[in-house]
Amino acid sequence: MPAAETTLLLIVVARRPVIRALLACMVLLILGGLAGQVSTWLLGYGTLFGFVPHFDLDQENNVPTWFSTICLFLCALALSVIALLEWRRRMPLSRYWFALSGIFAILSLDEAASFHEMLTGPVRRLLHTGGVFYFAWVIPGGLFAIGFALLLSDFLRRLPSETRRNFLVAGAVYVSGCLGMEMAGANRISVHQRPDFTYSMMVVVEESLEMFGTILFLRGLLRHLEKYVGTFAVRLTGGASS
What is residue 47's predicted lDDT score, i.e. its pLDDT?
81
Residue 173 pLDDT: 97
pLDDT at 237: 53
Q: pLDDT at position 116, please?
A: 87
In terms of residues, how long is the chain? Answer: 242
Q: How far apart are CA 130 and CA 160, in angstroms?
A: 42
Alpha helices in the chain (DSSP H): 15-38, 51-54, 63-88, 94-113, 120-127, 138-151, 153-157, 161-175, 182-192, 197-229
Q: How far apart are the first and last CA of the chain?
A: 6
Structure confidence at residue 233 (pLDDT): 56
> Over the chain, what is the mean pLDDT?
87
User: pLDDT at position 12, please?
Assistant: 53
pLDDT at 8: 37
Using the predicted structure, report yes or no on whether residue 9 has a pLDDT greater than 60.
no
Looking at residue 128, what DSSP letter applies?
A: T
- According to the model, what pLDDT value does residue 166 have? 95
Q: Give yes or no for residue 228 having a pLDDT over 80.
A: no
Decide if pLDDT at 13 tops 70: no
Question: Which 3-state string (H, E, C) describes 71-124?
Answer: HHHHHHHHHHHHHHHHHHCCCCCHHHHHHHHHHHHHHHHHHHHCHHHHHHHHHH
Q: Indicate whether 135 pLDDT > 50.
A: yes
Q: What is the CA radius of gyration of the chain?
A: 21
Please write the tens of the pLDDT for every residue from 152-186: 899 999 999 999 999 999 999 999 999 999 999 99
**155-192 exposure pattern, b = at least 16 Cβ within 10 A, e = fewer:** beeebeeebeebbeebbebbbbbbbbbbbebbbbbeee
- Burial 38-47, CB ≥16 within 10 A → b, else e: ebbbeeeeee
- Confidence grade of residue 202 (pLDDT, cut at 50, 70, 90): very high
Binned at pLDDT 50, 70 and 90, residue 48 comes out as confident
List, for residues 100-109, the tens digit of each pLDDT value.
Answer: 999 999 999 9
Decide if pLDDT at 57 tops 80.
Answer: yes
Please give the C-alpha separations between residue 113 and each of 107, 110, 141, 186, 211, in angstroms, as whole numbers: 10, 5, 16, 20, 17
Tell me what pLDDT residue 55 has: 92
3-state secondary structure of 30: helix
pLDDT for 230: 54
What lies within 8 Å, CB to CB, of 31 at 6+ separation is none
Question: 234 pLDDT band (50/70/90 cuts)?
Answer: low
User: Does 80 score more than 70 pLDDT?
Assistant: yes
Which pLDDT does position 114 carry in this prediction? Answer: 86
